[in-house]
Amino acid sequence: MFMTKKISVVIVAAGSGSRFGDPRPKQYHEIGGKSLLRHCVERFMAFCPQGNIQVVIHPDHRDMYDTAVGDLALPSPVAGGATRQQSVLNGLQALANCDPQPDNVLIHDAARPGISDEVIARVLAALAHHDGAIPTLPVLDTIKQCDGDGVIRTTIPRSTLHRAQTPQGFQFDKILAAHLRHEGQEMTDDASLLEQDGCDVVCVEGSDANDKITQRDDMIRARQMISDTDLNQDTFLMTREEFRTGTGFDVHRFVPGTECILCGVAVPHTARLDGHSDADVGLHTLTDALLGAIGAGDIGQHFPPTDPQWKGAASDQFVRHAVNLIAQRGGRIVNADITLICERPKIGPHTEKMRACVADILGIAVERVNVKATTTERMGFTGREEGIAAQAVVSIALPIVGD
């Protein structure tokens, strides 16, 4: 029944993804060889022409946008605002300049790549009888309301609670008017604007696969959801995974100093490690292992020691670079195991802090990271306490794109 109406879409992709913990915004990371943004765009192409899909982006992300969807016949992207609400309004105003204007509009977050045809159809069908419709899921946990000191004041009946998702659908003229009327009043979602005005917004059934990607670990869940969801094969590339192993080895000599940086942790010692960067031998070997797992060379190729910009640099940025390369290939890090080889300093008292630091850099759970130490029984340069050696082994999973 909704196919007789003009449907347009606003996809909000203007965020920086600061909680995601990666320099590349999450909407441009890939699953199954496609960015999250492209997954969303291609899904909505089943319901409206490409020219009706308006993407809102951060102006600094235009190159990444062009790489992700630049080959599609979309309208020029609109610059987002300082808030999500302003970004949506910018997208709606771009659609308002179309002739004719849309009858219905869907507003969707690019961080929800698991949207399905069924959810979109339910939202659109509800707009035949309501001002707005949003997909939701019931809240399954018991909800407690607490005061500022954490003392429980009441238990809220969960039967009345629902988790909101997107796309949220609306009659276009009503949602545009609501955004203009409440401009500057930041709300958590678009439906809240109509609710304030007493409009009729209904909930329809959402999907677990449509949950928002916020943290890096959410990418693992999203890949699995997309792989397991029986969606149209021509839009969602079904993915299987292959596992790869990478190894790394590195050494650094001691020079006069007061501490060594090892796996991101400052360890007191009577010497420091010598190197062009901070000489973190643990993170250097981890970087090589990550690069090796995807056949991307070694740390020296990406960060030449002859380049002055890396003088004294913190080595975590080398690891993050390798992690980003893996993420761009749609991969995920399964685990990492680092061995530090030295007589001194004593590593044992610091391993838990090192594990936590490495896990944070890799964006994985700490139980997937191991840091341990051994000696060479007083043999060789490490046995003579002339320096520290380190080796690392990592496992990653990369998607195999199916037909």
pLDDT for 92-103, tens place per residue?
Answer: 999 999 989 999
Q: Would you mind telling me the total number of residues written for the chain in this entry?
A: 403
Mean pLDDT of 366-395: 95
Q: In 3D, which of 363, 370, 365 has the Cα closest to residue 394? A: 370
* CATH 3.90.550.10 residue spans of the chain: 2-237
Q: Which two tokens stand for residue 42?
A: 């291609």
Task: Return the minimum-mean-pLDDT range out of 76-90, 124-138, 208-222, 255-269.
Answer: 208-222
CA distance 68 to 39: 10
Q: Which two tokens stand for residue 49?
A: 């022409």
Higher pLDDT among residues 21 and 249, named by residue: 249
Architecture of domain 240-401: 2-Layer Sandwich (3.30)
Q: For residue 212, is pLDDT > 70?
A: yes
CA distance 224 to 36: 14
Higher pLDDT among residues 148 and 273, named by residue: 273
* CATH 3.30.1330.50 residue spans of the chain: 240-401
Q: In 3D, which of 45, 68, 48 has the Cα closest to residue 57? A: 68
pLDDT-derived band at 221 (thresholds 50, 70, 90) equals low
Instruction: Enumerate residues 6+ apart whose C-beta is below 8 A from 135.
Output: 119, 122, 123, 164, 165, 166, 167, 168, 203, 204, 205, 206, 207, 210
Query: With pLDDT > 90 as the criterion, what percentage of the chain qualifies?
Result: 68
Mean pLDDT of 193-216: 89
Higher pLDDT among residues 178 and 215, named by residue: 178
* Whole-number CA gyration radius for the chain: 25
pLDDT digits (tens, 9 = 90+) for 296-339: 999 999 999 888 888 889 999 999 999 988 887 878 899 999 99
Residue 312: the pLDDT is 87
Q: Which two tokens stand for residue 341?
A: 């080889």
Strands 162-164, 265-268: pairing is unpaired
Residue 236: the pLDDT is 40
CA angle 196, 198, 204 (to 5 degrees): 90
Mean pLDDT of 229-242: 48
- Tell me whether residue 259 is exposed, middle or buried, using C-beta atoms within 10 angstroms of its C-beta: 0 to 12, 13 to 18, 19 or more: middle
Alpha helices in 165-280 (DSSP H): 172-181, 191-196, 218-228
Q: Which CATH superfamily is domain 2-237 in?
A: Spore Coat Polysaccharide Biosynthesis Protein SpsA; Chain A (3.90.550.10)
pLDDT-derived band at 186 (thresholds 50, 70, 90) equals confident
pLDDT-derived band at 233 (thresholds 50, 70, 90) equals very low
Mean pLDDT of the chain: 89
Query: With pLDDT > 70 as the criterion, what percentage of the chain qualifies?
Result: 91
Please name the helix (run of DSSP H) or strand (run of DSSP E) that holds residue 333, with its range, or none. strand 332-341
